[in-house]
Amino acid sequence: MEGIILFKRSLALLLVVMMVAGLFIGCGGNTEEPAAPADNTPAETTEPAAETPEPTEAPAEQVLYWNIGAEPKTIDPGLNAAVDGGHVINNMFEGLMRELNGTLEPAMAESYTVSDDGMVYTFTLRDAKWSDGKTVTAQDFEWAWNRVLAPETASEYSWIFDAANVDTFQALDDKTFEVTLKAPTPYFLGLTAFYTFFPVRQESVEAGADGAWAIDPAKSIVNGPFMLDSYVGGDRLELVPNPEYWQADKVKLERIVGVMIVEASTALTAYEGGTLDVLATVPTEEISRLIAEDPTFYILPMDGTYYYAFNVEAAPLDDVNVRKALSLAIDRQAICDTVTKAGQIPALNIVAPTSYDADGNLFSDQLGSVGLQATAAVEDAQQALADAGYPNGEGFPTLELMYNTSEGHKVIAEAIQEMWKKNLNIDVALTNQEWAVFQDTRKQGSFQVARAGWIGDYSDPMTYLDMFTSTNIGATNYSRWVNEDYDKLLEDAKTAPGQERFNMLYDAGKLVEEAYINLPIYYYTNTIMVADKVHDWEMNTRSTWWFGFAYIE
């Protein structure tokens, strides 16, 4: 059931991807058989030709060169809250379950049972070891989960335990881990494959504060297919096989070199020059060429939304009419067609079109929009700005739009800057910060308008709506918006049954959309490149890389 849930996608998104001929290929590179060689045997011979020895070819070097992009803020499973860190963690650690080929499979758990009421999950752990040879135990999970929830840890993702309806958890013995939920939660099992729920070793974590242990090869103890061999901040990290991994015999790569090239154009040059094998993003201006010319360029669907956050505590954005005007004034279709150009879909609300309610309706479609449309609603935007006291933009202060350093974010910001000037007659200053600094700035609320994006952690609208509760201010509620009715609706929805639950989520969705605390821009697609020689790589339905069984040929 969970595998089906994770793979649901909107028909529109799938059609966009499928229209890109030749790109929606299975994640294993070119699998075509080579053409049979021509028969060059002479028509007549008097004696058999001397046998020509078969040429021997040295086996391919099993080293994968992968551009991570910006340096992750952390690769500590309990502290990480970003996609880039998640990619690395997914290859170093392993949870109770893992998604492979779109299906949830037992990982650290050899098996599990679920009570008749759907409230109690009992996991039986397999015989598995940490990279230092010690046994992975149920107590490791209990300690790791408690660590995430401890206030002193300051985990930015501790809230996800509440979203998963986790009530209690405990190690019944070394091999048995029991989790009790507050209500039946169909997406809970999938979350056990998510990095916040991964185990960590207490001795390792306590050997280095604030996640420092995770980037120190001498202290980093892991239970996944790869372990850390070296880490050079801002430059690269290198992973090597973990000989104690329970499936070590299936791990073929001898080394993964994860470089940290922020500029997409520089990374593409390296890829096309043969010094990189995997790219997670490409320059927007190159997409049309790559679609036409390069069969190793893939456009894949993604459960995610690209948006801007409005800081509702900062004037003039503390006025809902200002926020409404800014959101109505942009042409999302033009951004998708002429700026991003990778099959993205204009976003008219924050919830990506990937999950369904109990009646089978696409949640995003049923939620609808609050006056937003694919193209700019210029007259309505100008009226909203006038209602805020700034007719034709008169007297409106220069607005600061902040994004993390990236060519892709820059061109989108420039397009929106021009739209706001043209349609509202307001001036916008663009500023950028490096990724790690930007995350802290956004968390602290030291901005007016900031770039944001969200990749669903599980296939349910709650993964989007839960971001904006008052308890998540700073962590995911960058807008710093507080609404008690919204908080209560989401809290009640966590234990409500069936369509009653979704009705509460619809009501909550309308509250957040009518407040215009965010400016949804488009629904993501993945634009990636993987060299032909790399086989059996995976990007799961949460858009996370997995190289556990990959190899080079």
Question: Could you state, in order of their start, the residue ranges of all structural domains in the chain?
Answer: 65-259+531-552, 301-525
Contact between 22 and 299 (Cβ < 8 Å): no
Token pair 């599990």 in the structure block, residue:
112
Exposed, middle or buried by CB within 10 Å (0-12, 13-18, 19+), for 59? exposed
Lowest mean pLDDT among 55-69, 138-152, 490-504, 528-542: 55-69
Secondary structure of 384-439 as H, E, C letters: HHHHCCCHHHCCCCCEEEEEECCHHHHHHHHHHHHHHHHHHCCCEEEEEECHHHHH
493-496 LR contacts (CB < 8 Å, sep 24+): 493/462, 494/162, 494/163, 494/165, 494/182, 494/183, 494/462, 495/165, 495/182, 495/183, 496/183
Task: Name the token pair of 4.
Answer: 């089906």
DSSP 34-71: PPPPP----S--SSPPPPPPPPP-PPPP-EEEEE--SP
Count of C-beta atoms within a 10 Å radius of residue 346: 21
CA-closest candidate to residue 420, choices 330, 483, 360: 330
What integer pLDDT is reported at residue 506 of this predicted model?
98
65-259+531-552 CATH: 3.40.190.10
- Checking if the pLDDT of 45 tops 70, the result is no
What integer pLDDT is reported at residue 301 of this predicted model?
86
Per DSSP, which regions of 202-311 are E strands?
Answer: 226-232, 236-241, 255-259, 278-279, 297-310
Task: Name the token pair of 459.
Answer: 């296939």
Taking only the tens place, the pLDDT of each residue in 210-254 is 889 999 999 999 999 999 999 999 999 999 999 999 999 999 999
**C-alpha span between 424 and 394 (Å, rounded):** 9
CA-closest candidate to residue 466, choices 410, 431, 434, 504: 504
Phi, psi of 111 (to 5 degrees): -160, 170
- Checking if the pLDDT of 21 tops 70, the result is no
Bigger pLDDT: 207 vs 122: 122
What integer pLDDT is reported at residue 102 of this predicted model?
85
- Checking if the pLDDT of 269 tops 90, the result is yes
Contact between 455 and 306 (Cβ < 8 Å): no
Taking only the tens place, the pLDDT of each residue in 353-366 is 999 999 999 999 99
Mean pLDDT across the chain: 90
Return left, alpha or beta for 518; rule: phi > 0 is left, psi -120 to 50 is alpha, else beta.
beta
Count of C-beta atoms within a 10 Å radius of residue 196: 25
Helix (H, G, I), strand (E, B) or coil at 466: helix
- 301-525 topology per CATH: Dipeptide-binding Protein; domain 3 (3.10.105)
List of residues 6+ apart from 513 with CB closer than 8 A: 349, 350, 367, 369, 370
What integer pLDDT is reported at residue 208 of this predicted model?
79
Token pair 């809902």 in the structure block, residue:
320
Taking only the tens place, the pLDDT of each residue in 50-60 is 444 454 566 78
Residue 33 confidence class, pLDDT cut points 50, 70, 90: very low
Lowest mean pLDDT among 18-27, 150-159, 478-487: 18-27
- Checking if the pLDDT of 86 tops 60, the result is yes
- Checking if the pLDDT of 13 tops 70, the result is no
Q: What is the pTM of this model?
A: 0.82
What integer pLDDT is reported at residue 54 of this predicted model?
52
Count of C-beta atoms within a 10 Å radius of residue 113: 10
